[in-house]
C-alpha cells in the first residue's frame, strides 16, 4: 500500500494482513479521490478540509486526504493491532499535529467525544455491519457537518444497503467487489 497523490505521493503505508480487516485497494482509493477532485456532481474542496475517517483501519483514506491537502483528520478504529499500525503510519509521515486517533468502537465514540464540524466523512465498516446507518443518523442529529460536506461509504457490491432515506445519494460507483456511495447532508 502507498500514498497515491499529493505531498506524500509514493510513500509506503504499513498495512495489516488479517481476516478481520480489508484494506482499501489503491485503485479504489485513487478513483474516489479523482471523483472528489473532478466530478461536477461533488462540491467539496479537499484543501483545508476536516476529515472524519470511521472504521479507519491503518488509515489509508485519511492519510491520502492529508497528503492531498486536508488540514486535519480524526481517525476512529477499534482494532488495537490496526490502530497501532495506523499510529506508526502517522509517525512515519510526520503528521501527528494534523491527526486525532481515537481507539474505540465507532458506535461508542459519539457518546463521549466532542467532534468538530467536518467537511468529509469516510465510512468503511465491515461489510457485514449494518449499524453504520445509525452513525449517519447520529452525525445528522449532532450536526457535526459543515455546510459543504460529502459522505463516502465503502460497501461490498452485493450488499443491499438502504440509506437513501437518511442520506441523499449523489453518485454511486462500482469497482470489482466494492461499491462506493457519495452523499451529503
Distance separating alpha carbons of residues 142 and 113, to the nearest angstrom: 12
- Give backbone dihedrals phi and psi of 160, rounded to 5 degrees, phi first: -110, 45
Does 51 score more than 90 pLDDT?
Answer: yes
The answer to whether the beta carbons of residues 28 and 178 sit under 8 Å apart is yes
Distance separating alpha carbons of residues 157 and 179, to the nearest angstrom: 5
Asked whether residue 95 is domain-assigned, the answer is: yes
- pLDDT number for residue 64: 97
Question: What mean pLDDT value characterizes the chain?
Answer: 90
Asked whether residue 1 is domain-assigned, the answer is: no
Q: How many domains does the chain have?
A: 1
Helices 60-67 and 26-38, interaxial angle, to 10°? Answer: 40
The single residue listed with the C-alpha cell 468502537 is 105
Share of the chain above pLDDT 70, in %: 97
Does 127 score more than 90 pLDDT?
Answer: no
Distance separating alpha carbons of residues 67 and 3, to the nearest angstrom: 8
Asked whether residue 3 is domain-assigned, the answer is: no
Closest CA to 185 of 154, 148, 155, 153: 148
Cα three-residue angle 164-180-61, rounded to 5 degrees: 120
**Owning domain of residue 178:** 26-183
Does 21 score more than 80 pLDDT?
Answer: no
CATH of the domain at 80: 3.40.50.150
Mean of pLDDT values over 81-106: 95
In angstroms, how far is CA 184 from the centroid of its own chain?
A: 14
Distance separating alpha carbons of residues 55 and 52, to the nearest angstrom: 10
Lowest mean pLDDT among 5-9, 36-40, 92-96: 36-40
pLDDT band at 19 (very low <50, low <70, confident <90, very high): low
The answer to whether the beta carbons of residues 150 and 119 sit under 8 Å apart is yes
- pLDDT number for residue 12: 94
Asked whether residue 33 is domain-assigned, the answer is: yes
Lowest mean pLDDT among 6-10, 110-114, 162-166: 162-166
Q: Express each pLDDT in 60-76 by its tens digit.
A: 999 999 999 999 999 99
- pLDDT number for residue 16: 80
- pLDDT number for residue 163: 74
Predicted TM-score of the model (pTM): 0.92
Asked whether residue 104 is domain-assigned, the answer is: yes
Amino acid at each position: 500500500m502507498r500514498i497515491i497523490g499529493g505531498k506524500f505521493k509514493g510513500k509506503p503505508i504499513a498495512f495489516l494482513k488479517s481476516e478481520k480487516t480489508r484494506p482499501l485497494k489503491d485503485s479504489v482509493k485513487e478513483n474516489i479521490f479523482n471523483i472528489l477532485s473532478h466530478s461536477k456532481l461533488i462540491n467539496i474542496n479537499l484543501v483545508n478540509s476536516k476529515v472524519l475517517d470511521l472504521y479507519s483501519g491503518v488509515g489509508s483514506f485519511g492519510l491520502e486526504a492529508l497528503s492531498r491537502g486536508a488540514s486535519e483528520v480524526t481517525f476512529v478504529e477499534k482494532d488495537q493491532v490496526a490502530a497501532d499500525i495506523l499510529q506508526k503510519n502517522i509517525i512515519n509521515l510526520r503528521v501527528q499535529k494534523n491527526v486525532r486517533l481515537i481507539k474505540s468502537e465507532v458506535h461508542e465514540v459519539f457518546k463521549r467525544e466532542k467532534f468538530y464540524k467536518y467537511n468529509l466523512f469516510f465510512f468503511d465498516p465491515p461489510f457485514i455491519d449494518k449499524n453504520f446507518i445509525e452513525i449517519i443518523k447520529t452525525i445528522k442529529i449532532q450536526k457535526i457537518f459543515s455546510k459543504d460536506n460529502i459522505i463516502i461509504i465503502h460497501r461490498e457490491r452485493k450488499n443491499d444497503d438502504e440509506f437513501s432515506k437518511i442520506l441523499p445519494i449523489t453518485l454511486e460507483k462500482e469497482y470489482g467487489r466494492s461499491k462506493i456511495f457519495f452523499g451529503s447532508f
